[in-house]
Amino acid sequence: MKLLFLHGAPPTGKLTVAKALLERLPGRLFDNHAAIDLARTIFDFGAPGFWELVHSVRCSALDAAEHGVSLVVTTFCYAAPDDRPQ
């Protein structure tokens, strides 16, 4: 699996770029909002456990993509230095 990691400040067009790329290339979109939206069903935004769940969802999705997905394009709003482990 190839991973294209689009990161930047909000709202700079990461998702727009990802969708445009995937109109031209075969692959799948893993939008950062998907992990955050799932975590918000369990926790308030930023509550203890929230970011741990987001990280777990991201990792699980990428692990699953190893099973036959040729390209995953993902978006991420990187905030240094907090997100360095990501």
pLDDT digit string (tens) for 6-64? Answer: 988 888 999 999 999 999 999 999 988 999 999 999 999 999 999 999 999 999 999 99
Which pLDDT value is given to residue 25? 94
DSSP 27: -
Domains and their CATH numbers in the chain: 2-76 (3.40.50.300)
Which pLDDT value is given to residue 41? 97
Which band of pLDDT confidence, cut at 50, 70 and 90, is reported for residue 86? Answer: low
Residue 39's CB is within 10 A of a number of other CB atoms, namely 22
Assign 80 to helix, strand or coil: coil
- Residue 79, pLDDT > 90, answer no
Question: Cα(62)–Cα(55) distance, rounded to whole angstroms?
Answer: 11
Assign 33 to helix, strand or coil: helix
Which pLDDT value is given to residue 63? 93
Which tokens go with 14? 């990461």
